Amino acid sequence: MAPKRKPKSAAAAVVVAPEMPATSLVLRCSRADGSSKNGFVWPTVAGAEVVAPDWLANNECGHGLHGWLFGAGDHTSSSYAEDPNALWYVLEVVTTDIVMLGGKCKFPRCMIRFVGPRGDAAAYMLAHEPRSRDVAVIGACRQVGDTQSVIVGYGGTATAGDGGTATAGDGGTATAGYGGTATAGDGGTATAGDGGTATAGTRGTATAGTRGTATAGDGGELRIQWWDAKASRYRTATAYVGEDGIKPNTPYRLDANHKFVEAPKGEC
């Protein structure tokens, strides 16, 4: 009688984990208590999932959750962006769910990754979303070295070293070193070092170093430094747009007598 053969063991099943969908980070803000338009209230803790109760997959504002992809966009599209008590969120969203609306985006659901002040939310965005480092993140504070360029959005602070370029949005602060270029939006402050160019928008302040050029919009202020050899110190000449013939959006420099004169075309 032939010996009984042992039954072959079944092959071990291979379990393949489903591929996770690609995601993107989105910035947004609300009132201090988390509430927003139409009575919707956002959770105020990280890790919470949020689902839009009225989602419609169209390219019209409304019917969804809204924010700024990678932290950049039109801050005036929110009623709370200029509120100093606003609560700021960083949200993780499935990339294919995002609908761009022009200056903002909308999506059906998200996971809250951060909740806190504007500056901290911007810092979180820059630390965890690589694509945000190439755009003007709202509320960001960024600094780069010599000959490098940096850009931030509304309310942010941009600082570049010698020969660098710093650009800030409305209400922001841009500072560039020797030979650099600093540009700030409405109500912003732009400061450039010796030989640099500083440009600020409406109601902004543009400050340039020795041999520098300053430009400000309506209601703005121009400040250019010059070296007082007799006193061995720097002094600052100041002019106000709309007074003493100073024009808005016009580059100025100092003449030999430290008076503001229009810079020749091409100089700035």
* pLDDT given for residue 193 in this prediction: 87
Residue 81 to residue 62: CA distance in whole angstroms: 18
Would you kindly state where each structural domain of the chain is located, as residue ranges? 23-134, 141-262
Q: Report the predicted TM-score, pTM, of the whole model to 2 decimal places.
A: 0.80
Q: Identify any residues that bridge with 2 across adjacent strands, giving them in sequence order.
A: none
Mind listing the pLDDT tens digit of every residue in the chain (268 residues)? 555 665 555 556 677 767 889 999 999 999 999 999 888 999 999 999 999 999 999 999 999 999 999 999 999 899 999 999 999 999 999 999 999 998 899 999 999 999 999 999 999 999 999 999 989 999 999 998 888 889 999 999 999 988 899 999 999 999 998 888 899 998 999 999 888 999 999 889 998 988 889 999 999 999 998 888 888 877 889 999 999 999 999 999 999 999 999 988 654 4
Q: Are 87 and 34 in contact (CB under 8 A)?
A: yes
Q: Identify any residues that bridge with 237 across adjacent strands, giving them in sequence order.
A: 224
Which helix (H) or strand (E) segment holds residue 237: the answer is: strand 233-240
Q: What is the 8-class DSSP label of residue 37?
A: G
C-alpha torsion angle, residues 62, 67, 72, 74 (rounded to 10): 40
* Burial of residue 218, with CB atoms counted within 10 A of its CB: 0-12 exposed, 13-18 middle, 19 or more buried: middle
What are the tokens at 146?
């010599």
CA angle 71, 124, 41 (to 5 degrees): 70
* Burial of residue 246, with CB atoms counted within 10 A of its CB: 0-12 exposed, 13-18 middle, 19 or more buried: middle
Q: Which residues contact 187 (CB under 8 A, 6 or more apart)?
A: 170, 171, 201, 202, 203, 204
